């Protein structure tokens, strides 16, 4: 029998480095750097491998318990001013009046305690029923809170899940705290809620996932009693094991009861203690469990072994050297055929460049191979010291952050998957000017656009940080990526500002940043001593399940509500609450194909491989206003462009006549390269080629209907012409 680690998980957590994210492992030597330890490292010392990577550690429960300092990030800390009642007006349903018509406050409590780290889901059989969850500190140590709406997000109720009657079999007492909330629906309309639970002063750790009923619609969840329960996925107090960062996904097929939960299993043992690893970290593997209608299956290893991974035996010499066992932050999604796909972050790489991995779980339970979803570049992280030594952060607002991936599947096309995560590939130094990687699969997860680092990258202006992204694909086929945006800030006190927004697009091409939060200059949590350092480890976005809908519901943590600060009247105390916005997106059509993504000579008919020009284009069509916005970037034309427009309507790779204004888009830039954005009123004859109007009944209404239908069918293409290639030098078919 293996020997439990000395002390407790609390001690072990202090011994691990505070990179919230898994950044670990090098091939070759894998020797640890730094001196040997004697049970606990000082909080400013952190073990690293010879190539500079840090040893991984849990982040979910850790923000409350496993390090003394981590308690601060889960409202375990206290402050006289910030623990006082807030400046708010009560209503019969709580302080629901602390939002606006455009940004609705989701949690309904009247406390000045944090609600953050949120997720949202929409009922597949009732689009008006939306559920959410968040970390919730309203009653002291952090717990999980749930929320529900029955009117499409206009009004919300909330509560705390019934997790605190159940006792850990080893300790004999109930759990003290919880974290990492997440929600989903199964195909029969059952809402699910899940959290990790743990103790403050013992090794107890558990993972609960419990259902509502189709009738209750997430307004209440099944109790977890003081007895064996089918809703306990895993629990222990063995001193070796800690469960962290679980996410769920329901099977959307009609009447299905199936749901999946994936999570990280951290293991520590004295046999793994060496060098600067006195905490005895062994591994952090991804496991999954499936609800079969009566119980959760025995958790099974998902991260496995792969030629993509090295150094699996770094600490546990009996482990497979090819084990993918330094992981964190998994997320599953289930397609319309009942197949699940899971993404997670992995550090079993031979360089400082980490990777996002993925694996398919077929509807019959069989596992596909581990595949590379993309690269994760952490070379230019900003590092903050929250009393635990340097860790990945957004330094302008002094909050921790991570590179955990999110994933969505096209509800109309199970082969179309999109995964997103933040990294620092275009930052410099330790600026932490993070961007968002968008990796796309069009073959059910077998191959991904960022596998070699060539995926789409969403990046703000200099000094801005895009962080903690989420992604959804609407019923109409539009991809929406939401995220926090920290604004440039020259100070060093972490008291900058931030906002929340999204970018929408298709085929890997996205439009500009669209603000979501009413304010894009929200106060840093740093102004609240009880909430400083933490804005949650993730945000979320979900799409409406109504047929053909292009509506999305982004959800985020927001500090707009403040209370007077008697100690410093000029600086009120902000409170982190959870907000949601209902957004009807315009339809999006991105240039891609038929041969390659974007605008290319290879997409012309006949192809022009001799042209090295390239470009991208995304077209948005607002069906409510009949406004079409064309966004184009191009470079490298052999000679100056002579025309640019949209042709319609033909199946790729055919050729068709010009549909839009001739001879070229209004205001299109001259030259061999440029950037263009223009909005056309498609109810006006001037937006069309007269020949296209004539060909479709002689009316503008007929031309509008034909062009929109062609775009939706993927039968329109954007073409840029030059004098060298008068028939078109680069083009791409516009696809939803």
Determine the Cα angle at 378 with ends 75 and 554, to 5°: 55
Task: Please report the pLDDT score of residue 20 as a whole number.
Answer: 30
What's the pLDDT at 96?
65
Residues 6+ apart with CB under 8 A from 188: 125, 214, 254, 255, 256, 257
pLDDT at 439: 98
Q: Decide if 259 contacts 290 (C-beta within 8 A).
A: yes
pLDDT, tens digit (0-9, with 9 covering 90-100), for 252-292: 999 999 999 999 999 988 888 776 666 788 999 999 999 98
| pLDDT score recorded for residue 278 | 66
Distance CA 179, CA 688 (A): 55
Q: What is the pLDDT of residue 203?
A: 87
pLDDT tens for 31-74 read 333 332 222 223 334 455 555 666 665 544 332 223 433 343 34
Rounded to the nearest 5 percent, the helix, strand and coil shares of the chain are 5, 40, 55
Residue-wise pLDDT for 104-127, tens only, equals 999 998 888 899 999 999 999 999
Q: Does domain 104-585 have CATH number 3.20.20.80?
A: no
* DSSP state, residue 14: H
Question: Which of 122-136, 202-216, 519-533, 560-574 has the least mean pLDDT?
Answer: 560-574
What is the rounded CA–CA span in Å between residue 598 and residue 609? 14
pTM score above 0.85 = yes
Nearest to 254 by CA among 202, 214, 200: 214
Q: In what order do the strands lie in the sheet with 241-250?
A: 241-250, 259-268, 281-291, 300-301
CA-wise closest residue to 650 among 713, 703, 693: 713
Would you state the structure tokens that stand for residue 539, as one six-digit string? 């945000």
Class of the CATH-defined domain 588-735: mainly beta
For residue 293, CA distances in Å to 190, 255, 634 come to 11, 11, 53
**What share of the chain in percent tops pLDDT 70?**
86
Pair 37, 13: CB distance under 8 Å: no
Query: Taking all residues of the chain, what is their mean pLDDT, rounded to a whole number?
Result: 88
DSSP track, 291-324: E-SSSBPPPEE-S-B-TT---TTSS-TTS-TTB-
Query: Is the backbone of residue 414 left (phi > 0), alpha (psi -120 to 50) or beta?
Result: alpha
CB of 630 closer than 8 Å to CB of 665: yes
- For the ranges 67-81, 179-193, 309-323, 499-513, the lowest mean pLDDT is seen at 67-81
pLDDT at 83: 59
Q: What is the mean pLDDT of residues 620-638?
A: 97
Average pLDDT for 164-190: 95
How many C-beta atoms surround the C-beta of residue 186 within 10 A? 27
Q: Using one digit for the tens of pLDDT, what is the confidence trace for 683-709?
A: 999 999 999 999 999 999 999 999 999
Q: Averaged over 511-538, what is the pLDDT?
A: 95
Q: What is the mean pLDDT of residues 611-640?
A: 97
Is 192 within 8 Å of 260 (Cβ atoms)? no
pLDDT bracket for residue 10 (50, 70, 90):
very low
Q: Is 433 helix (H, G, I), strand (E, B) or coil?
A: coil
At residue 352 the predicted structure's pLDDT band, cuts being 50, 70 and 90, is confident
Sequence ranges of the domains in the chain: 104-585, 588-735
Do 104-585 and 588-735 fold alike per CATH? no
- Within 13 Å, how many C-alpha atoms sit on residue 601's CB side? 15
DSSP E strands in 597-671: the ranges are 599-600, 614-622, 627-635, 641-648
Instruction: Copy the structure tokens of residue 391.
Output: 């860790």
List C-alpha distances in Å: 42 to 96, 271, 278, 389: 44, 21, 11, 9
- Does residue 82 have a pLDDT over 90? no
How far apart, in whole angstroms, are the C-alpha atoms of residue 167 and residue 144?
17
When pLDDT is cut at 50, 70 and 90, the band that residue 230 belongs to is very high
């Amino acid at each position: 029998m293996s020997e439990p680690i000395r002390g407790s998980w609390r001690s072990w957590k202090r011994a691990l480095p505070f990179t919230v994210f898994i950044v670990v492992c090098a091939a070759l030597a894998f020797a640890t750097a730094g001196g040997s330890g004697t049970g606990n490292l000082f909080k400013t010392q952190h073990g690293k491998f010879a190539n500079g990577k840090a040893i991984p550690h849990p982040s979910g429960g850790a923000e409350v318990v496993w390090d003394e300092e981590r308690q601060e990030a889960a409202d375990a800390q206290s402050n006289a001013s910030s623990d006082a009642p807030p400046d708010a007006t009560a209503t019969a349903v709580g302080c629901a009046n602390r939002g606006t018509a455009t940004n609705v406050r989701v949690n309904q409590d009247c406390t000045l305690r944090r609600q953050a780290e949120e997720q949202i889901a929409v009922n597949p059989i009732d689009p008006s029923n939306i559920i959410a969850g968040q970390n919730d500190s309203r009653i002291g140590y952090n717990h999980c809170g749930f929320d529900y709406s029955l009117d499409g997000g206009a009004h919300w109720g909330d509560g705390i899940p019934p997790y605190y009657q159940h006792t850990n079999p080893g300790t004999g007492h109930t759990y003290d705290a919880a974290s990492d909330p997440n929600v989903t629906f199964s195909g029969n309309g059952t809402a699910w809620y899940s959290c990790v639970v743990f103790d403050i002063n013992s090794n107890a750790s558990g993972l609960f996932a419990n259902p509502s009923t189709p009738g209750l619609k997430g307004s209440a969840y099944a109790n977890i009693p003081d007895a064996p329960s089918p809703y306990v996925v895993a629990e222990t107090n063995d001193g070796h094991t800690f469960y962290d960062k679980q996410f769920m996904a329901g099977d959307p097929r009609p009447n299905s009861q199936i749901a999946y939960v994936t999570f990280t299993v951290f293991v520590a043992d004295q046999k793994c203690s060496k060098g600067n690893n006195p905490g005895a970290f062994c591994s952090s593997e991804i496991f999954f469990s499936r609800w079969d209608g009566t119980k959760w299956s025995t958790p099974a290893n998902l991260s496995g072994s792969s030629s993509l991974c090295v150094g699996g035996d770094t600490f546990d010499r009996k482990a497979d050297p090819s084990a993918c066992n330094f992981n964190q932050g998994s997320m599953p999604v289930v397609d319309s055929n009942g197949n699940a796909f899971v993404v997670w972050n992995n550090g079993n790489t031979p360089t400082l460049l980490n990777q996002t991995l993925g694996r398919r779980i077929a509807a019959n339970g069989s596992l596909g191979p581990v595949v590379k979803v993309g690269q994760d570049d952490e070379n230019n992280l900003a590092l903050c010291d929250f009393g635990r030594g340097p860790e990945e952060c957004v330094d302008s607002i002094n909050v921790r952050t991570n590179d955990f991936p999110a994933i969505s599947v096209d509800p109309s096309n199970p082969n179309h998957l999109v995964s997103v995560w933040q990294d620092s590939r275009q930052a410099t130094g330790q600026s932490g000017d993070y961007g968002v990687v968008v990796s796309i699969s069009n073959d059910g997860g077998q191959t991904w656009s960022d596998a070699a680092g060539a995926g789409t990258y969403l990046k703000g202006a200099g000094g801005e940080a895009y962080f903690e992204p989420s992604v959804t694909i609407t019923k109409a086929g539009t991809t929406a990526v939401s995220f926090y945006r920290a604004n440039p800030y020259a100070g060093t006190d972490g008291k900058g500002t931030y906002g929340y927004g999204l970018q929408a697009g298709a085929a890997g091409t996205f439009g500009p940043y669209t603000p979501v939060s009413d304010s894009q200059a929200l106060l840093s949590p740093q102004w609240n001593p009880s909430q400083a350092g933490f804005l949650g480890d993730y945000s979320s976005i979900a799409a409406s399940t109504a047929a053909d809908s292009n509506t999305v519901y982004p959800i985020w943590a927001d500090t707009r509500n403040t209370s007077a600060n008697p100690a410093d009247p000029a600086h009120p105390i902000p409170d982190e609450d959870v907000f949601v916005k209902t957004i009807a997106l315009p339809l999006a059509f991105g240039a891609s194909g038929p041969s390659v993504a974007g605008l290319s000579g290879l997409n012309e008919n006949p192809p022009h491989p001799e042209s090295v020009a390239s470009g991208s284009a995304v077209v948005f069509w607002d069906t409510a206003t009949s406004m079409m916005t064309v966004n184009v970037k191009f470079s490298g034309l052999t000679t100056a462009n002579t025309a640019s427009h949209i042709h319609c309507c033909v199946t790729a790779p055919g050729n068709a006549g010009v549909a839009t204004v001739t001879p070229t888009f209004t205001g299109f830039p001259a030259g061999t390269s440029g950037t263009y954005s223009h909005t056309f009123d498609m109810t006006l004859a001037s937006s069309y080629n007269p020949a296209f109007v004539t060909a479709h009944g002689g009316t503008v209404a007929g031309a509008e209907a034909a062009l929109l239908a062609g775009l939706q069918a993927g039968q329109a293409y954007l073409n840029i012409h030059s004098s060298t290639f008068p028939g078109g030098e680069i083009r791409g078919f516009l696809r939803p």
